[in-house]
């Protein structure tokens, strides 16, 4: 039996990346959803809640979905969720009432969490342990490329269609190549999984799951991922409103293109470098840099400054997210790598639903955008403190099996 993949860029790995890419295309156009709700006449008290309902649904469903979905049934869930997403996106064109939007966002979250959980459950079986940062960096391209391109294209399209809902429906077309690819690659993936150790593909017992979740490094890494995605979601959901406030609303597409473009460069060009060093130490330096970056927004009042801030933000996030996933991957036993990777997504969901609710409430009571972004800087400093705790745990348990990642 083959227990570990021998190379990263296998046909199965690349196919799964493209399937997730087509799925993430539907999410990348929702950067302006908060502003869209404002134009619909939805009150400020409800906007943040409605924006957060999609990731909130994913948050509550992820633990059950992540445990129930495994390598053996993931392709079925991939196909079902891709079709569901296409139908849901089309429904935004006819849904403008508050109750309708609430229901629609819940359905959207359920379909999306199923798609991503199924994709991750398969992908981790095709990542070599010694290339984990590169693997998760490439995996992240499935979301980064849509987020880099879609906002700019959406802003151009809005000059003609005047409604984000039409754009949401148009993006549903991206599900078609995703469905075709799922059908084409299914036999090959099934054949590869048959060659792997059956014990690594089975769903662990509840007692084993609980023991895994209670491990100190797992708790610390999951908490750090929550903090990172809370700040990441703050930028995603509020950067357009902030730039409108600064008189630069038309430049939001440039911000996303630059920041996501830099992230792509970091993850494709420096993954091998990050794999060769001490991942925990590297993550600490990048988190400190990110904390400094979150102080920049009040200083952004011109296009050159916006480009510089976007580039710095992209550099920091370009390394932090794949490093966190790689550290979790290496701290996890083989049978828990898929589950723990989905738990990382669970923390992402938590950040994306807590952020618009909390930060939206701050703005609703008169808080400034400067306060919102300075809060992100403080949150990142908390992450650094947790990282110091992880480093200490790693040094104490350095001689025990599966104690930690290194380099």
d(CA 16, CA 269): 21
In a domain, 341, yes or no: yes
> What integer pLDDT is reported at residue 199 of this predicted model?
58
Number of domains observed in the structure of the chain:
1
| Residue 250 three-state SS | helix
> What integer pLDDT is reported at residue 2 of this predicted model?
47
In a domain, 404, yes or no: no
In a domain, 151, yes or no: yes
- For the chain, the distance separating the N- and C-terminal CA atoms, rounded to the nearest angstrom, is 28
> What integer pLDDT is reported at residue 381 of this predicted model?
94
In a domain, 4, yes or no: no
Asked if residue 27 lies in contact with residue 142, where contact means CB atoms within 8 angstroms, the answer is no
| Residue 181 three-state SS | helix
> What integer pLDDT is reported at residue 6 of this predicted model?
61
In a domain, 216, yes or no: yes
At 316, which CATH number? 1.20.1250.20
Range of the domain at 97: 11-396
> What integer pLDDT is reported at residue 406 of this predicted model?
45
- Which residues have CB under 8 Å from 83's CB, separation 6+? 175, 179
> What integer pLDDT is reported at residue 226 of this predicted model?
93
Asked if residue 64 lies in contact with residue 5, where contact means CB atoms within 8 angstroms, the answer is no
d(CA 190, CA 210): 29
In a domain, 5, yes or no: no
In the chain, what is the greatest distance between 2 CA atoms, to the nearest angstrom?
62
> What integer pLDDT is reported at residue 367 of this predicted model?
77
Paired tokens of 404: 């930690």
The DSSP line for 107-164 is: HHHHHHHHHHHHHHHHHGGGS-GGGHHHHHHHHHHHHHHHHHHHHHHHHHHHHHH--H
Asked if residue 339 lies in contact with residue 204, where contact means CB atoms within 8 angstroms, the answer is yes
Q: Residue 196: phi, psi to the nearest 5?
A: -90, 165
d(CA 404, CA 283): 14
How many CB atoms neighbour CB 295 within 10 A? 14
- pTM value? 0.70
pLDDT block averages, 10 residues each, the chain of length 407: 62 86 83 82 83 81 76 83 92 89 92 88 78 75 77 80 83 88 85 67 67 83 93 86 79 84 82 75 91 86 88 91 85 75 81 83 81 90 91 73 49
- Indicate the helix (H) or strand (E) that contains 279: helix 279-293
d(CA 352, CA 358): 10
> What integer pLDDT is reported at residue 228 of this predicted model?
93
Paired tokens of 20: 């997730």
d(CA 257, CA 276): 29
> What integer pLDDT is reported at residue 1 of this predicted model?
43
């Amino acid at each position: 039996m083959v227990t570990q993949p021998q190379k990263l860029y296998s046909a199965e790995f690349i196919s799964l990346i493209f399937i997730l890419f087509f799925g993430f295309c539907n999410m990348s156009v929702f950067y302006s959803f908060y502003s869209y709700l404002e134009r619909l006449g939805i009150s400020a008290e409800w906007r943040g809640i409605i924006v957060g309902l999609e990731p909130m649904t994913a948050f509550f469903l992820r633990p059950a979905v992540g445990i129930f979905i495994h390598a053996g049934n993931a392709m079925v869930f991939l196909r079902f969720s891709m079709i569901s997403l296409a139908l849901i996106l089309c429904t935004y064109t006819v849904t403008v009432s508050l109750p309708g939007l609430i229901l629609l966002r819940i359905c959207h979250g359920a379909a999306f969490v199923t798609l991503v959980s199924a994709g991750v459950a398969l992908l981790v079986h095709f990542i070599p342990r010694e290339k984990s940062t590169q693997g998760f960096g490439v995996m992240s391209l499935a979301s980064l490329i849509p987020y880099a391109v879609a906002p700019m294209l959406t802003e151009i399209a809005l000059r003609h269609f005047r409604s984000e809902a039409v754009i949401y429906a148009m993006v549903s077309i991206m599900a078609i190549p995703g469905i075709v690819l799922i059908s084409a690659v299914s036999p090959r993936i099934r054949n590869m999984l048959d060659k792997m150790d059956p014990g690594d593909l089975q769903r662990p017992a509840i007692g084993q799951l609980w023991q895994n979740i209670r491990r100190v490094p797992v708790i610390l890494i999951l908490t750090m991922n929550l903090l990172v995605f809370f700040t990441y979601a703050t930028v995603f959901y509020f950067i357009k409103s902030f730039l409108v406030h600064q008189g630069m609303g038309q430049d939001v597409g440039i911000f996303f293109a630059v920041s996501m473009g830099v992230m792509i460069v970091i993850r494709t060009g420096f993954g091998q470098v990050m794999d060769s060093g001490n991942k925990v130490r590297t993550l600490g330096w990048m988190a400190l840099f990110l904390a400094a970056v979150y102080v920049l927004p009040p200083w952004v009042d011109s296009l050159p400054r916006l480009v510089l801030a976007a580039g710095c933000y992209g550099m920091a996030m370009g390394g932090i997210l794949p490093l966190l996933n790689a550290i979790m991957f290496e701290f996890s036993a083989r049978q828990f790598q898929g589950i723990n990777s989905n738990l990382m997504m669970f923390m992402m969901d938590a950040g994306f639903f807590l952020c618009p609710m909390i930060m939206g409430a701050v703005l609703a009571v008169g808080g400034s955008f400067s306060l919102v972004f300075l809060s992100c800087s403080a949150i990142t400093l908390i992450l650094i403190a947790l990282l110091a705790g992880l480093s200490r745990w790693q040094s104490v348990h350095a001689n025990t099996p599966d104690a930690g990642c290194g380099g």
